[in-house]
Structure 1
Amino acid sequence: MQNLSDILKQFQQKYPKIEETKLAEIVQSIAEDSDIRQFWSAHQKELKADAFQLKMMDLHEFIQQKKRIQSGEKSLYPGYYPQLEIEKGYPHVRYVADEKKQQQLMQADKLITYKMPKAIKNADLQTIAVESGRAEAVTEIVETLTQLIAKPDQYTQGLYLYGDFGVGKTYLMGALANALAANNIGVMMLHFPSFAADLKDAIGRSNDLKSRMMAQAKSIPVLILDDLGAENLSMWIRDDILGVILEYRMQNELTTFITSNFDMTELTSYLAETRDDRDKGKAARLMQRVYDYPNHTRAKEVEPVEPADVIIVDGVLLFNDSRVRDLLDMKIFVDTDDDIRFLRRLERDIDERGRTVRGVIDQYLATVKPMYHQFVEPTKRYANIIVPEGGENLVAIDMLTNQAKAMLKQN
């Protein structure tokens, strides 16, 4: 194949009348374009003899779209720039996403939103005005974002953002979601009241829909629950939706953010009373998943404990530390058969944590049972009293109660 200059001369000689038409301008622009000349030189041996004649308008398109982009005009495919490549011996114009478009595409791939306002799509941390009442929230969000980007494989504690309606909580979280997605971190932002309502409507109609939605909410690297507390709360929503999601994420150390009109104390009261029941215990258990992600790390808040006549300290490894043992007036080891412990764990992990039977069995055999026999059971020797059957042993409970009363009288 000849070089481009020779081909252009031959083309002009073959078609002399083109000088009287606009085609002459096209040929001249092709001749002067450095990118086309460089491409032709690099692929001279691969290009077919009629490549210029057949693909002249493609080359013209390449030049035109380049000029439009350089001048700031709307191009044929906004967000994409033209690039020449060879295809079966002929020049071909391929459109490649520019840096901004690549970021948008990656963001669209990494970000899942559910019933969120359209304005969230364009929320940007860089454009948020840091007013006095918002400065602390923005600072916390930026710091958390930095940690997630710097250490994506390590657990980062999420944030609980609360305030009155209309102060911008959702927009701030939307800006965070966009920033995470732009940095290739999977994130799901869902309006929890709508999410809960749609799951309820799907009962009896589409188990696949519920399973897919729950699986996404549980397993996405970063989850943002927006407007928690605005839903019409029922036991089912609290225990089987919110509880299951938060439990799974806690166990798997996945970062969760929450926005609400309630502060922590108000949210606790809200979760304690549903349309169906009043249960402060379940609310407290659920709040631990909100306060402390995961529950084996220290929470930022410290809960004060008032002095009492009797303090009950509970923990499977409590007797391992001699400093703790020395502080205890009575040391009790509750002994339960391996089979009973496994069945309780199986029921709890399936019902409350959304695990499979096989997953529970594998974990129990691989770590739970051997660790119990290696580290927990040997501490029985430090106990003053060993109680078989746990809470079912009424005789032991009565004996312990009388012993505690006697010790109180002595003091």
Structure 2
Amino acid sequence: MKDMHAELQKLMDQRHLTGAFHDAINKAAADPEVQAFLRAHKGELAEDATRRGAAKIYEFVNERDKRLKGIQSFAPGYQPELVVSNGQIDLAYEPTAEKQAEDKLADQKRLINAINMPKAIQHANLAMYDDKDRADALQAAVQFTVAVADQPKDFHKGLYLTGPFGVGKTYLLGAIANELAEQGVGSTLLHVPTYAVEMKNAIQSNSVLAKINAIKVAPVLMLDDIGAEALSPWFRDEVLGIILQYRMQEEMPTLFSSNKTMAELNRFLAGADRGDNEAMKASRIMARIQFLATEISVGGVDRRNGN
């Protein structure tokens, strides 16, 4: 391969390039990164590669320096790289590390469908979860996420997180969802009391079935605060029952959080607290929940101002 400076000088002489542009071309040619590229690919480049690639070299140095100085570049979020193409010098734009991180985060967010859930779960993280009085819950959460990520097509029994208000049950569901998203597994998190109200309103718009179908097929479904809704036999049987029956039949991972234990939830679903006696219907729902999830107690103090 001929001398880079000589080739560029010949090109500039032929085109009568002088002054500032002449200096810019020379400076680009002498750039250490350019010189390192030419040395590394000397055997791959054609004899006229330096002459024909002068514009690419100049663009590389110019765009690289803009990015390093924080100046608006030709392709924000992308960095130029010199490459060899058919024996000639060419330029490719590759995403920067920052751009890759942003894209990864955006992809992860798209995998999480949070419906009427607190904003704080967006940043929930298993590594940051305080395990004081919650070690069993954290261990179960980690084991679940590892199992689902390793074998996403298999059935994995979920968690039924039970404990008082503010002990971190919802946060833990969010942390599980975020961890699964990092592994490319999608989740839907649903606040059950709000969903119950929305489903009642959906009767008027004749959209109940569509809303049920959208929820029941989630790769991983997390039902938050179940048992805190106003008891409705219709919601219990025609909405919750249908969703859970589908999840059980299809053996799809399903998680729950509740201020009630499973025994307390059974009593609630039967309407015992208001004098009803629908134990059989409640037991059908509970059988599905028990098939889908293992009851895990989450202890500790109210952490609603933290995690």
Give me the TM-score of the superposition, normalised by structure 2: 0.75
Partner of 2:266: 268
Would the alpha carbon gap of residues 225 and 53 (structure 1) be closer, same or farther in structure 2, given more than 3 Å must change? same
Q: Distance in 2 between matches of 1:284 and 1:219?
A: 23
Cα deviation for residue 268 of structure 1 reads: 1.1
Match of 1:248 among 246, 249, 262: 246
- Matches for 1:314-333 after TM superposition, within 5 Å: none
Q: Distance in 1 between matches of 2:42 and 2:234?
A: 67
Q: Distance in 2 between matches of 1:246 and 1:38?
A: 61
Does 2:178 align with 1:178?
A: yes
Does 2:217 align with 1:219?
A: yes
Contact 1:189–1:224 under 8 Å retained in 2: yes
Matched letter for residue 223 of structure 1: L
Q: Distance in 2 between matches of 1:83 and 1:120?
A: 38
Partner of 1:357: none
Q: Which runs of 5+ in 1 are unaligned?
A: 302-411
Cα deviation for residue 192 of structure 1 reads: 1.9
Structure with larger RCO (C-alpha < 8 A, sep 6+) = 2
Would the alpha carbon gap of residues 215 and 130 (structure 1) be closer, same or farther in structure 2, given more than 3 Å must change? same
Q: Distance in 2 between matches of 1:44 and 1:197?
A: 71
Cα deviation for residue 160 of structure 1 reads: 0.2
Matched letter for residue 160 of structure 1: Y
Matched letter for residue 54 of structure 2: F
What SS is found at the alignment partner of 2:130? coil
What SS is found at the alignment partner of 2:189? strand
Would the alpha carbon gap of residues 7 and 106 (structure 1) be closer, same or farther in structure 2, given more than 3 Å must change? farther
Q: Distance in 2 between matches of 1:194 and 1:3?
A: 72
Would the alpha carbon gap of residues 50 and 124 (structure 1) be closer, same or farther in structure 2, given more than 3 Å must change? same
- Matches for 1:221-240 after TM superposition, within 5 Å: 221-240=219-238
Larger radius of gyration: 1
Matched letter for residue 286 of structure 1: I
Partner of 2:120: 119
Partner of 1:355: none
Would the alpha carbon gap of residues 2 and 25 (structure 1) be closer, same or farther in structure 2, given more than 3 Å must change? closer
Would the alpha carbon gap of residues 280 and 292 (structure 1) be closer, same or farther in structure 2, given more than 3 Å must change? same
Partner of 1:365: none
Matched letter for residue 116 of structure 1: M
Would the alpha carbon gap of residues 124 and 55 (structure 1) be closer, same or farther in structure 2, given more than 3 Å must change? same
Would the alpha carbon gap of residues 148 and 19 (structure 1) be closer, same or farther in structure 2, given more than 3 Å must change? closer
Partner of 1:282: 281
Partner of 1:205: 205
Cα deviation for residue 211 of structure 1 reads: 4.5
Q: Which runs of 5+ in 2 are unaligned?
A: 297-307
Cα deviation for residue 232 of structure 1 reads: 2.5
Contact 2:111–2:184 under 8 Å retained in 1: yes
Would the alpha carbon gap of residues 278 and 300 (structure 1) be closer, same or farther in structure 2, given more than 3 Å must change? closer
Does 2:293 align with 1:291?
A: no
Paired residue total: 289
Contact 2:192–2:224 under 8 Å retained in 1: yes
Partner of 1:312: none
Would the alpha carbon gap of residues 220 and 169 (structure 1) be closer, same or farther in structure 2, given more than 3 Å must change? same
Matched letter for residue 130 of structure 1: D
What SS is found at the alignment partner of 2:171? helix
Partner of 1:332: none
Q: Distance in 2 between matches of 1:187 and 1:46?
A: 55
Cα deviation for residue 117 of structure 1 reads: 1.9
Matched letter for residue 15 of structure 1: L
Cα deviation for residue 270 of structure 1 reads: 1.5
Would the alpha carbon gap of residues 48 and 203 (structure 1) be closer, same or farther in structure 2, given more than 3 Å must change? farther
What SS is found at the alignment partner of 2:205? coil
Cα deviation for residue 139 of structure 1 reads: 0.8
Cα deviation for residue 202 of structure 1 reads: 2.7
Partner of 1:257: 255
What SS is found at the alignment partner of 2:175? helix
Would the alpha carbon gap of residues 230 and 49 (structure 1) be closer, same or farther in structure 2, given more than 3 Å must change? farther
Q: Distance in 2 between matches of 1:117 and 1:279?
A: 33
- Matches for 1:9-408 after TM superposition, within 5 Å: 9-10=9-10, 13=13, 14-18=16-20, 25-26=27-28, 28-29=30-31, 32=34, 34-35=36-37, 52-53=54-55, 56-57=58-59, 59-65=61-67, 67=68, 77=76, 82-83=80-81, 91-96=90-95, 98=97, 100-101=101-102, 103-131=104-132, 133-205=133-205, 207=207, 210-273=208-271, 278-293=277-292
Matched letter for residue 111 of structure 2: K
Contact 2:159–2:295 under 8 Å retained in 1: no
Q: Distance in 2 between matches of 1:196 and 1:40?
A: 69
Cα deviation for residue 248 of structure 1 reads: 0.1
Cα deviation for residue 111 of structure 1 reads: 2.1
